Structure 1
């Protein structure tokens, strides 16, 4: 009996253990994130995921940082800091080999050529339709093949009611065509082959139309209702000794018939 009593915890001991558990739990919750800018402020837990450091509330993102929360609207306020651009991070111009800060070609097409080296002849723009037809490309070649070619949009100069045009950088389209076809020679061969097929198709179409036209002309000149049935009326027969045949002629037309007699 005494041995069982020695192993049992008293009421006071149980209360002390429970109190220590609650204190440890509270301490762990309130100190799970330490604000990096204010170590002296008291950190208190407001609710799940929200901490109060001093007089400012912060949202614990769970990603290792806090987001300041507007106390009035209780909405999260994020601050975006643009990192400084160092000289080594600036793009280098393909033409002059110098670094540059701003460029229309780089901003619009991700093409590393500075504004000073931009040439209207070399860096021409081409419509999407011309890019597909001239360089034998497919939609997926420019819209899905990595890297996807960038473009700018402009109003159609022919009709303002039509949809806007997509303009690509022609030199980038040429590079994409070389990636697909392998070389300029193969691309040109394919262009020539398709052009020959177009010419052949046009010739066949022309011949078919001419044949149809001739048939229509013949059918219009031939009138079945004007045709008159004719029965030959033959005259006297004449004997041909050389081949042992007989001949007689129609009395009303120019028909001549040659035959043999048994």
Structure 2
């Protein structure tokens, strides 16, 4: 027999039946059919088992087979460890993404006005950060007004209209430094409407460092603020004089307020002392007249024993 035929199942030979119980031709034929069906079913089961064991999943691994527990009955759920502390269960399928870094449930309200304002601030900051094109011809590119370098700060150019390179900007902070709106109002005595006018006073918008939901921080170029302040007040000396006048007036108002508060405190103190003395002042409580033998009656205070003579008419 060849090697290829060694693995194929072979029908075993029929056992010799006893002479006392011979099989008929119909019985032998049915017996052979049943044995062939059994062999075909066994071969099919072996092929299915081999196919299931050789199949791979998405990770190119054979699936894990689970074996049923021989013990019967309903399994009890495992108890949660109390040492893990409290926890909250969230239904992730019912949550929506508001693109704010948080997961908000459907039932909770979202502040649409706050989200809209934040998007507007982001849009304002993004518009001023767009980079302009660079030309191959050096003569077409703008140059620094201090050193004639073409490596200018594009933010200063677009926001303030100032042509200055990064080196000159860092070397001359007294001219190209940035001032906040508070510094402009306190040091240069500029008003809020003047600072909010972008055509009059160009300003750079940045996110508020204290809180992202606050209004954008406004930064102004120092030499532009000084030029506008000199033009408004006439000269640096006039600005200093106005600053000293306002400082003195503010100090005078502060002292006057302090004196008024002190005067009110003294008044309340004096009234309190007078009222206390008034309350503690003794008032005589005289009893009925007591007639004496000489025709003069007396009244005696029951509290202090003070007596007065009353002449009877």
Q: TM-score, normalised by structure 1?
A: 0.49
Bigger strand fraction: 1
Q: TM-score, normalised by structure 2?
A: 0.41
